[in-house]
Structure 1
Amino acid sequence: MWLGTTSAMAHPHGWIDYRVTVMVDDQQRVTALEQSWKMDPFQSLTMVEGLEGVTGGESMAQRLDALGHEIAANLATQHYLTHVYDGEQELALGHIEDYTTRLNDNRVEFSFIVTLAEPQPLSDALHWQVYDGTYFIEFLYDDQTEQPIELVNAPSQCHGEVVHADPDPAVVAGVSAIDVTGDAPDGIGKLFSDTGVIKCQKP
């Protein structure tokens, strides 16, 4: 698993609280999504204990930087767990940049920017989901922040909203019964993923 191991329990095995900042250029095009992922307390403790156990004279900040490099490399092979759509069409992503890893209230927080392969016009058709396809890790918009979705450089009449997932109860029951030794169907995480959307009121 790209974030390390956790103890046995039903799916999901951990969670990430996250925020998204939509980056808009001067031509009112969306160019990238800046994301901050805050690992759950147990996963964070596991990571920190692993870093503390590494031999060498590096500081914790340096070890967190190395961890961030490893996470970024792994995410590059998994589409950054980020899926951006224009209507029904999924858009190609560019690359990850400006990533950092730090401790935030004893929780590991990984922040990064993932670009779009081509800038997209700012519109209500643009939306995105962030999820682990196996649902090993659950992604939740951070309810401890007033604005889990922000738009930078966008017109004042535009804002971001979260559309919460509403999976079939039978699917929820089936997935929750899968223990750590079982494999959830690939792509099941999408069914549990909230959707970030852009809403622009007409002037």
Structure 2
Amino acid sequence: MIKLHLPSTSTPLLVQLRRRLSVLLTAAACITPAVSSAHPHSWVDIHTQVLGTETHITGFKMQWTFDAMTSAYMLDGEDTSAENRAETFQAIADSVMENLLQEHYFTYFYQNDQPIKYKVSPGGTLSQDRMKITLSFELPLAKPQPLPEEPLALRVFEPSYYVDLAWKANTDVSLAAPLQKHCQVNLVQPTPTAEQMSYAMSLPADADPDNALGQLFTQTVTIACQPQV
């Protein structure tokens, strides 16, 4: 069992999401009551590239695409006029990255049961495609990780499962060119029980966060390599 060091969920990023989504959830409850009681309430599609050389893993390149409703609420009240759009988007990206730093970027990387540390990300950028916004950033490791004999495990999740961060397919995780000769990645789906799923669905929108819930619905990317001799 991987030991997870769970962060707090009271940062401004999640507070802002909860505040802005509360109006949406109230409106949705009037139409389809099940929506207001189901977890999660915000969805993020992840694309990840594992960065490295032929001998070491050095970090990750991330693209997080928020669902259309979350994107709209994150931009609500912001100046997205043509002359100020770039500045506004960068300001939002800087704010989100600062908050993600406090939450370990919701990203956990392990060798056996031991967490592998990161450096502070050099920053992120925000872009928009139709109704969705995407946050792009790199997450360097504190020290380059030699290609391991035992698989490494990568997980990305928000502990209370208020925000669902997920890879949709194996192809959403890729290897930088130098690693492709030596490593393989595999996306392992979570296997929550029926009771655990029922519990998650029963929680009301205003329930106190359950910081053990996110682990139950979290995918794991394994990175298996054949080290250079």
Task: Normalising by structure 2, report the TM-score.
Answer: 0.79
Pairing 1:84-103 to 2, within 5 Å after superposition: 84-103=109-128
Task: Give the alignment partner of residue 17 of structure 1, picking from 33, 40, 45.
Answer: 45
Q: Does 1:188 align with 2:213?
A: yes
Pairing 1:6-155 to 2, within 5 Å after superposition: 6=21, 7-8=24-25, 9=36, 10-26=38-54, 28-52=55-79, 59-123=84-148, 124-143=150-169, 147-152=171-176, 153-155=178-180
Corresponding position of 1:175: 200
CA distance in 1, matches of 2:138, 2:212: 23
Q: Contact 1:175–1:184 (CA<8 Å) still a contact in 2?
A: no
CA distance in 2, matches of 1:155, 1:45: 37
Larger displacement relative to structure 2 (115-124 or 56-65): 56-65
The offset of 1:175, in angstroms, is 1.3
- RMSD of aligned alpha carbons: 2.2
Q: Using the aligned pairs only, state the percent identity.
A: 24
Q: Contact 1:178–1:184 (CA<8 Å) still a contact in 2?
A: no
CA distance in 1, matches of 2:107, 2:131: 25
Q: Secondary structure at the match of 1:193?
A: coil
Q: Contact 2:185–2:221 (CA<8 Å) still a contact in 1?
A: yes
User: Structure 1: which 5+ runs fail to align?
Assistant: none
Q: Deviations over 1:10-53 (max 9, x none)?
A: 22111100011100135x2111111100001100111233324x
Of Structure 1 and Structure 2, the greater helix share is in: 2
Q: Deviations over 1:38-93 (max 9, x none)?
A: 001100111233324x8x99521211111000000000111110000001211222
Larger displacement relative to structure 2 (162-171 or 76-85): 162-171
CA distance in 2, matches of 1:185, 1:46: 24
CA distance in 2, matches of 1:131, 1:82: 7
CA distance in 1, matches of 2:187, 2:57: 17
The offset of 1:118, in angstroms, is 1.9
Q: Contact 2:147–2:227 (CA<8 Å) still a contact in 1?
A: no
Task: Give the alignment partner of residue 13 of structure 2, picking from 2, 12, 17.
Answer: 2
CA distance in 1, matches of 2:120, 2:199: 35
CA distance in 2, matches of 1:79, 1:200: 25
CA distance in 1, matches of 2:74, 2:125: 15
Q: Deviations over 1:132-158 (max 9, x none)?
A: 011110011144xx7211111214242
Q: Secondary structure at the match of 1:46?
A: helix
CA distance in 1, matches of 2:90, 2:163: 22
Of Structure 1 and Structure 2, the greater strand share is in: 1
Task: Normalising by structure 1, report the TM-score.
Answer: 0.88
- How many corresponding residue pairs? 198
User: Structure 2: which 5+ runs fail to align?
Assistant: 1-11, 26-35
- Structure 2 counterpart of 1:47, which letter? M
- Structure 1 counterpart of 2:49, which letter? T
